[in-house]
Amino acid sequence: MFLANDIKLAIKLGLNGAYLPSFNNNFNHLSYSLKKNFILLGSAHNISEIRIKQKQNVNKIFLSSIFKKNKNYLGINKFKNLVTNLNFSFVALGGINETNFKKLKLANIKEFAGIQFFKKKAPLKGAF
């Protein structure tokens, strides 16, 4: 179980980790004593937010939006350019559906997340 935006409480409750949203630029947690398997997840929408999440020592970054055309829209090419030269674990997020699912391989994406995609009843075809 993960708690959003409150690492101190996540530690106190003995949870598996915490999630730091893109707007969280805090570094206080770096002085906390974390258990060995405590996982920090973060989200980002651009290179400056990615750099902050790296400095916050997150284990994995949810990067959006790969397909959903909103204010954080990246598209497949910009997404690929952002992650290609960074030795880091990224999770694709934003507008992933059965139609564009196969395009994830074009950006060498190994992990993705989404709500609408998993509300479907059919199993994944051509999953990683």
Full DSSP string of the chain: -EEES-HHHHHHTT-SEEEE-TT----GGGGS---TT-EEEEEESSHHHHHHHHHTT-SEEEEE-SSS-STT--HHHHHHHHHHT--S-EEEESS--TTTGGGGGGGT---EE-SHHHHSSSPPSS--
Tens digit of each residue's pLDDT (9 = 90 or more) over 21-73: 999 999 999 989 888 899 999 999 999 999 999 999 999 999 988 888 888 88
pTM, to two decimals: 0.81
- What's the confidence (pLDDT) of residue 81? 85
Go through the domains of the chain in sequence order and give each one's CATH number: 2-25+37-119 (3.20.20.70)
Please report the pLDDT score of residue 124 as a whole number.
59
